[in-house]
Structure 1
């Protein structure tokens, strides 16, 4: 009996209660939290956030860890979590600021800054401590890195942890998830959305995502100035990024041919063009008109295959350097990176883990496959040097103080902001310097889930002791209302501006709003509303900047008002 008691309550003569005690408590909290996270009510689940609530229960019954060990594991878990997020979003971070992406990010910034303003107003009007209010803000927008950034900023400022940050987060989080989904549903009726029309436009990639997606179109050549010219000669005249993969001759018997830089075009030829929706209209006007044609025929001698780039020597090389068309007679028509399709322009730099679409004969595609790699075994071997080097650089960057006028204490990016920025930069620019930063999605997800699980378990254990007393006697139930205000008001403000001022497609808009609250259940709801990928594109476009702003604003609120 004494053994069981020591295992759960800790060995009094050992630092931290003993290794077995610490590992047992953490493992039980995480296991029970993940198991409860699989339960869905009306299709909605709180996911890994259940780990936080289980940790609070354990902490309430004094099944806890040594405070120094708890602090270390919490910070280490946070570093793993934000660094893996940065590696995932980094490759597409800067491309999200193109014209279409910039507009979407403006809507996301409206959500972020409106929420911050609401938190500041509630802080002064109600007298709620800013530490608690920042916790409520992070929970209301379901942003765990913001919670970590706030806790670390307060620790740097006062030398101690503030459990009220985690308490505010825990109280506001459930309604943050549900409130966001209900707000998206309410916007649908408030904006009087005609779903059929909105979905038709979204399917075509129109609106503000037209620079962020790629689609194929069939064109029939009617422009006499094109007649007799090669694609190599035509490209500079069009001044748009596009790839021609197939051609069907007007004077032939309907046989489909591969197209290349030296392919000569004639009047009434049909070509399959891959480009961004924003460029399709100009390309169509230049060549002739759009027509319908089935290119993928059962008896065709050409195939299309997606191939993974897994050879390290290709990392950072431009597509034109591969000479796939000249050497093998195959075409690369698009490149998928981090879930986003890019036009396969000659100057595009490749990265490990890119998925390229190759078209050509079976033999040509097989030869191209050998050059590109397509070996999952190579990708399954993790590249640990960029991970730990990046974490080290992130810790250094996060520890550098920056002085801002009006803020009494120097601002540090901290262990949330530093590693996040370094991971974004190293994953985006590393390939240019032959640094392989790619990790498989499964490996990235494993590191991220371990990190967030450790972080939430430790936060819950640290906040558990005073949770019940705060809710019952400390007026914590009122925090739910504060969280609801911070969740709903910014979404309605940004939704109305995005729809009426910026003319966003509804399905793009709800994806952006889900990303602006970093809310995966809201994204799942948005995706269920349509068969197109507009919500996912909107979510992925604003997620990196939103995550960065959430981390930064949480720290600034603590440092300026605490």
Structure 2
């Protein structure tokens, strides 16, 4: 059995892979266990690493640093790719409010942490780890460790304090949501989310009875109101057709329009009357509506189409078809002429069978072409992210420049490449399963290394007085600001409670609490709030972690 002992205990490349694989496998297995309906998921990998370190397992230090760094970089970059297009579109009226609330939550937790640092004499080198654990934000821990190493200080204290505060960081947000719901949330605060979910596309039929649009073209009618819509079909005198922007509207025309539910009343005023038929049911057979037209989903797979505006393809005028909707990353978008197409977009095309077939040839619609991710784009993004993270940023009053580091640089580049890459012909598309796998591998590697490094001294830390202080401070940073901001969001900012819960989970980087919110509220509002607040809040925590180190740890 010497070979087995050598493979597990003697430092080598093989031994490092075996140990990390065992930690990840055990952790992910434990992550499937639910206690009172709550599971810590991938967080168990962190605790499996702590257990392995406590029983004496270790790997070569340089290999540990490499695996930890690579895992963190891969995780945050893929996260950045997945965040867009929601990140930029969130900075509209509702998104701005949620982001302001999320940043306020970040500020409150930071101020409370600084106050406890001064009041209880907790070193900031340890407090940044407490903050990371209390907010379940491993990228901020990575940024803090990078900053500590830059100024020549040990990062072990941050890892240990994060390890002991992480469990209550997960539970604390859920407790705050439960307490908030019982103390000051009214039934009306729960119902507003249902009526305010208006961003998804909405299909309605209208009849033209407004003399103001008689004889006007579709383009001229659209210029009368400041609302986006797409006319999918036009019925006139028993015949159906695909209208173009030059089609003139006549009295009695029936129009099938794709818009948003929020804009439907304005279109009713424009055209004259809205029909009562529900066109948004899932079981509608669109091909059976009329015999001459078909409706088909076509996937953009040709690289030549990537980054081009929908209007520039002139598909409607060339083939006599209409594109009513575009599905991207689970979000349904209106097919406006200014929409920039990306590889993987799924277009709903309406027209005659032969015309739709020709459009299919133009766009590609070869699903097999999407199975293999563009690996070159991934590594180009990683390289650019690491270079950006290495750029020193001078801040007035701070002697040492701030760097975005391993955690900040890649996520910023991931968001930017996902948004603007297609315009430069860069194919950034990956399937949802591929993105989740890469993120899972990266996060699992990072947590395994983090736990393994902290495990040797974990129990000793908990048993001493410092450990108890760390746990108490972490719970306070998690619970108090979250509960306060829940009250501010619901009672002062008038945000519905499900969306507020998503915002709180996003600002605290807590997907486990989001899973709890989704399971207890019958709407998608928590997920929307989470996606809106998460990117900016996480990026700010990465920067704040480095600023705290540079402001309080440099003598």
Q: TM-score range by the shorter chain?
A: over 0.9
Counterpart residue number, 1:291: 275
Contact kept? 2:498, 2:526, Cα under 8 Å:
yes
Residues 117 and 551 (structure 1), Cα distance of their counterparts in 2 relative to 1, 3 Å cut:
same
Q: Is residue 300 from structure 1 mapped to residue 284 from structure 2 by the alignment?
A: no
Where in structure 2 are the equivalents of 1:16-55 lying within 5 Å? 17-55=11-49
Q: How does 1:108-507 map to 2 (within 5 A)?
A: 108-158=102-152, 160=154, 162-194=155-187, 198-199=190-191, 201-204=192-195, 206=196, 210=198, 212-249=199-236, 252=237, 257-295=241-279, 296=284, 299-301=288-290, 302-507=293-498
User: Is the deviation greater in 444-453 or in 228-237?
Assistant: 228-237
How far does residue 46 in structure 1 lie from its aligned partner after superposition? 0.8
C-alpha displacement of 1:363: 4.6
Matches of 2:186 and 2:204, distance apart in 1? 28
Cα distance per residue 1:194-250 (max 9 Å; x no partner) = 16x844x4334x2xx64x44323333433211122221221222232211223344x
The alpha carbon displacement at 1:85 in A equals 0.8
Q: Which runs of 5+ in 2 are unaligned?
A: none
2:185/2:497 contact within 8 Å kept: no
Q: How many residues align?
A: 546
Q: In the superposition, relative to structure 1, how do residues 218 and 110 fare at CA in structure 2: closer, same or farther (>3 Å)?
A: farther
Structure 1 residue 482, shift from structure 2 partner: 1.8
- Which of 78, 93, 101 is matched with 1:107 structurally? 101
**Residues 93 and 363 of structure 1: is their aligned pair in 2 closer, same or farther, counting only changes over 3 Å?**
same
Distance (whole Å) between structure 1 residues aligned to residue 456 and residue 178 of structure 2: 37
- Paired with 2:536 and 2:121, the residues of 1 have a C-alpha distance of 31
Deviates more, 1:516-525 or 1:425-434: 516-525
The C-alpha deviation readout for 1:420-446, integer Å capped at 9, x for no partner, is 111211221111111112222222222
Separation of aligned partners in 1, 2:411 and 2:227:
34
Pairing 1:85–2:74 present: no
Query: Aligned equivalents of 2:201 and 2:106: distance in 1?
Result: 29
SS at match of 2:440: helix
TM-score normalized by the length of structure 2: 0.92
TM-score (structure 1 length as normaliser):
0.91
Q: Would the aligned equivalents of 1:245 and 1:260 in 2 still touch at CA under 8 Å?
A: no
Residues 150 and 558, structure 1, Cα contact 8 Å, conserved in 2: yes
Aligned counterparts of 2:523 and 2:203: Cα–Cα separation in 1: 15
Alpha-carbon distance in 2 for matches of 1:324, 1:527: 40
Deviation at 1:455, TM superposition (A): 0.8
User: Partner residue of 1:13?
Assistant: none
Q: CA deviation at 1:320?
A: 1.0
- Maintained 8 Å contact 2:185/2:490: no
Query: Is the CA contact (8 Å cut-off) linking 1:9 and 1:62 kept in structure 2?
Result: no
Query: Over the residues paired in the alignment, what is the CA RMSD in angstroms?
Result: 2.3
Specify whether residues 159 and 213 from structure 1 end up closer, same or farther in structure 2 by C-alpha distance, changes over 3 A only.
Answer: same
- Secondary structure, counterpart of 2:456 in structure 1: helix
Q: Quick one: distance in 1 between partners of 2:348 and 2:523?
A: 20
Provide the secondary structure at the position in 2 that maps to 1:97.
coil
* Structure 1 position 375, deviation (Å): 2.2
Aligned to 1:107, what secondary structure does the other structure show?
helix
Equivalent residue number for residue 7 of structure 1: 7
Corresponding position: 1:76 with 2:67? no
Alpha-carbon contact 2:125-2:158 (below 8 Å) kept = yes
Native 8 Å contact 2:421 2:427 kept in 1: yes
Partner of 2:223, secondary structure, is helix
Structure 1 position 388, deviation (Å)? 1.3
Distance in 2 (CA, whole Å) between partners of 1:186 and 1:358 is: 48
The answer to whether the aligner puts 1:529 opposite 2:520 as a matched pair is yes
Greater mean alpha carbon deviation, residues 364-373 or residues 399-408? 364-373
Closer/same/farther in 2, CA of residues 288 and 536 from structure 1, 3 Å limit: farther
- Distance change >3 Å, CA 178–CA 305, structure 1 → 2: farther
The answer to whether the 8 Å contact 2:174/2:513 transfers is yes
Task: Indicate which of 89, 96, 100 corresponds to 1:95.
Answer: 89
Alignment check: 8 A CA contact 1:340 1:537 kept? no
